[in-house]
Amino acid sequence: MNYKITDIVCILQAKCDIVHECTVSDLLTDSRSLTFPEKTLFFALVTKRNDAHRYIGDLYRKGVRNFVVSSLPEDRKQMADANFLLVKDTLSALQSLAAAHRKRFKIPVIGVAGSNGKTVVKEWLYQLLHEDYNMVRSPRSYNSQIGVPLSVWEIDENTELAVIEAGISKPGEMDKLEAIIKPTFGILTYLGDAHQEGFSSMQEKCIEKLSLFTHSESVIYDGDDPLIVDSAEKMCMGTREIAWSRKDKDRALYISKIVKGEDSTRIDYDYLRFSSSFTIPFVEDASIEDAIHCLAVMLYLGKTGEEIAARMCKLEPVAMRMEVKEGRNGCLIINDSYNSDINSLDIALDFQNRRSAARGMRRTLILSDILQSGMSPDELYRRVAEIVIHKKIDRFIGIGRELLSYKSLFPMETEFYSTTGEFLASGAAECFSNELILIKGSRNYHFEEISEALELKQHETILEVNLDAIIDNYNYYKQKLKPETKIICMVKAFGYGAGSYELAKTLQDRGCDYLAVAVADEGAELRKAGITMPIMVMNPEMNSFRTLFRYSLEPEVYSFKLLDALIYEAERQGIMRYPIHVKIDSGMHRLGFTLEDMPRLSERLKSQTTVMARSVFSHFAGSDEPRFDAFSRQQIALFKECAVAVQSATPQPVMRHILNTSGITRFTEEQMEAVRLGIGLYGISACGMDTDLRTVSTLKTTILQIKELEEDQTVGYSRRGVLTRRSRIAAIPIGYADGLNRHLGNRKGAVVVNGKRAPIVGNICMDVCMIDVTDIDCKEGDRVEIFGEQLPVTEIAEWLQTIPYEILTSVSSRVKRVYYRE
């Protein structure tokens, strides 16, 4: 949609002297996602930790000429041809513009709220209804105070039906989203514990979510959930309630029977005096509930039982995440198949650009025809070509007959194929080298086959790393801190086993202040991969000074010997004012300067100009345990005294930091200028108090073979696994060379197969171990979780009488890491 800038000024009631009249069509809140500068209106959002006004100059240089701001830039005179729309609050302005945009359209809009299942329901509704309507749906999980306005903005004169997600984390947020979405009817999915910390009770959260439907015609929900039913009654919304039920035959939609098969489920139902049934290719309870929500929508829209049955059986799994995998010949694969539309393409290309800019790799896009866009092919592929050109794609591979017809629009290196099979048969999959390849395809093109063809084949044990969980955990601790407090994130030891580069890139994108690694070589590898943010080296060695200086790595300094050697080498290379981080021994008695060293240290720092103290810090000995609190407070007091001496020797401000992960939670008031976030970033509470952290790393493998063995037979080396009954024993391809501790053998440890614990039988071998699956319904090829959501690392650490750090960092480098975004 195009808007005149004068009309937007009126909608926002902004103060603005229009320099030149123009039209805008793109709303931008993330400066890194710029595509069409001449059509863009940038909202300079201000958050607790970031002020986007600082990106205005850079965006202006890239061609943006329209800005919504809450304060005018000091160098405004140098941007004389730009329009600055001055408002009180830029986020409120974004929401107001989206709300005004929504009012222009008299179309059905489905609002989806809840704790779990929102995205699946949204995507399944698209699968079920896109043949009948030109649809708009929220891209990925654009369900926040920022994401919802951007989603609603995609509605245009061609749209016939929209499905918009709404997510909240605290009271008062849903009213703002309701004003933007204005759903004509809605769905409340499963209500769980997610974001519960923002609410005093589950009922308060339920009522807040239901408030999205205050002015809707109807709302669909599980009528067997007493919390939802009671909350709906308390609200007295005046909205028609379609509460489906498995128990109450008097409900408008009664689910009379659910029959699960091996890989499908039949659902029988009664609706307004007629009975019917359908089958879905899923058996999980959550999928069944999501399908019933979709059933209610289709019935509400007047679909027949025959139409519903024909479409439900074709439902496909929703790709909830964007995976990053290692490819062959030095390539990196971003797999975003199963989902292809113009909006998600833009988002995926942004993700690709940020990684390619850091790694210096060629950017390749493999794209299928885009189906059901609502645009004419001419308009659609002209728009696709514009996006691809603006995103500076080096190599474009189009698959589909429509793309083939529009190949002249793509000026870069190109290849075109009619089908996925034709591409795979051509041998083109063998011709990639040192490329960052984004795979983006509509479902019926089966681009998962391309992903498999390009992926570096390793053995079937993988470590899945959830980058969104890293972000959520980072934000969890960030919200405990003052806005000005800096966060130093620990990515040493290969990112606690998760892989340091992808974590570092993710944290850099989120505005993290510092990274910390163990040795200079770790920091150098991050620099080579394109990480530009400050990096602290916690254990610098005497022979690493050249590496430190070459890659701008900031060393910890803990002794006079190290300090003098560093000063000498810096002087020899003509380096001035190089940042260092002074470590204080406040009671840990591992490394560091003592209180008695302070006079000498102060004089030494004053007597030279080659290095400067960027920070002064210390380590707690027991901040995670209340029994050491008195000693921890002694450490804090001693550290502060030492920090005064360091500051006195340094003219510029020196950051102080003593709080580690548990310290952030237990001694928040002592955060000073910075904190260090370690194990909590990876989803593990150091003190047992941080219960809302998300699991980051999941170690998985597969069942290779299952054998039926008789009682008294033995399993494994040294015949240690003696069977006491007739058993089914499965072999899985993971052993101590992969990081599975041998002490977990002989039933001391277990793994999870299809939701159930399977004891490890016999001695663990180098590459394989055996598990007892006698009481578990499973088959060869089924997934096995070694640790993750179902089997926490903390529990394995208890079995081994060790700490979670050891479990995480023991995962071998030969285990493939797969990174994904939800």
Domain ranges (residues) in the chain: 3-91, 105-312, 322-457, 464-682, 697-821
Architecture of domain 464-682: Alpha-Beta Barrel (3.20)
Q: What is the pLDDT of residue 338?
A: 61
* d(C-alpha 306, C-alpha 329), whole Å: 50
Residue 604 corresponds to which tokens in the numbers above? Answer: 């030494």
CA 313 to chain centre: 31
Residue 694 corresponds to which tokens in the numbers above? Answer: 């998300």
Where is average pLDDT lowest: 18-32, 98-112, 621-635, 781-795? 18-32
Q: What is the pLDDT of residue 157?
A: 92
**Which of 379-383, 558-562, 683-687 tops mean pLDDT?**
558-562
Burial 124-133 (b: 16+ CB within 10 A, else e): bbbbbbbeeb
The catalytic residues are 492, 717
Using 50, 70 and 90 to split pLDDT, how confident is the model at 435?
Answer: very high
Answer for the pair 267, 284: CB distance below 8 angstroms, yes or no. Answer: no
Q: What is the dihedral of CA 521, 525, 531, 533, to 10 degrees?
A: 0
Answer for the pair 770, 731: CB distance below 8 angstroms, yes or no. Answer: yes
**Fold (CATH) for 3-91:** 3.40.1390
Q: Do 464-682 and 697-821 fold alike per CATH?
A: no
* Max CA separation in the chain (angstroms): 91
Q: Residues in the chain, how many?
A: 822
pLDDT for residue 449 is more than 80: yes
Higher confidence at residue 340 or residue 274? 274
Give residue-wise pLDDT tens across range 261-286. Answer: 988 999 999 998 899 999 999 988 88
* d(C-alpha 607, C-alpha 743), whole Å: 54
pLDDT for residue 201 is more than 90: no
Helices 305-312, 118-129: inter-axial angle, 10-degree rounding = 120
Look at strands 721-722 and 714-715 and give their pairing: antiparallel
* d(C-alpha 805, C-alpha 802), whole Å: 9
Q: Which SS3 state, helix, strand or coil, does residue 351 take? A: helix
Q: What is the mean pLDDT of residues 357-371?
A: 84
* d(C-alpha 791, C-alpha 785), whole Å: 7
* d(C-alpha 541, C-alpha 558), whole Å: 11
Answer for the pair 233, 201: CB distance below 8 angstroms, yes or no. Answer: no
Residue 211 corresponds to which tokens in the numbers above? Answer: 């408030």
CA 62 to chain centre: 28
The closest alpha carbon to 118, from 267, 286, 252, 3, belongs to 286
Q: What is the mean pLDDT of residues 392-406?
A: 94
Using 50, 70 and 90 to split pLDDT, how confident is the model at 197?
Answer: low
Residue 595 to residues 556, 608, 622, 670, Cα–Cα distance (Å): 17, 21, 20, 20
Q: What is the mean pLDDT of residues 637-654?
A: 94
Provide the percentage of residues in the chain whose pLDDT is more than 70: 96
- Residue 766 annotated as lining a ligand binding site: yes
Contacts of residues 720-726 at CB distance under 8 Å and 24 or more positions apart, as own/partner, are 720/745, 720/746, 720/762, 720/763, 721/745, 721/746, 721/761, 721/762, 721/763, 721/770, 723/761, 725/774, 726/774
Q: What is the pLDDT of residue 372?
A: 66
CATH number of 322-457: 3.90.190.20
Answer for the pair 815, 699: CB distance below 8 angstroms, yes or no. Answer: yes
Q: What is the pLDDT of residue 373?
A: 67
* d(C-alpha 615, C-alpha 600), whole Å: 18
Q: In the β-sheet with 274-280, what is the strand arrangement from edge to edge?
A: 253-260, 265-271, 274-280
Answer for the pair 522, 504: CB distance below 8 angstroms, yes or no. Answer: no
Q: Does domain 105-312 have CATH number 3.40.50.720?
A: no
Where is average pLDDT lowest: 283-287, 567-571, 671-675? 283-287
For the chain, counts of helices (H) and of strands (E)? 26, 40
The closest alpha carbon to 355, from 176, 501, 535, 574, belongs to 501
Q: What is the pLDDT of residue 141?
A: 67
Q: Which SS3 state, helix, strand or coil, does residue 274 take? A: strand
**Fold (CATH) for 697-821:** Lyase, Ornithine Decarboxylase; Chain A, domain 1 (2.40.37)
pLDDT for residue 439 is more than 90: yes
Answer for the pair 620, 632: CB distance below 8 angstroms, yes or no. Answer: yes
**pTM (predicted TM-score):** 0.67
What is residue 328's DSSP assignment? G
Where is average pLDDT lowest: 152-166, 205-219, 496-510? 496-510
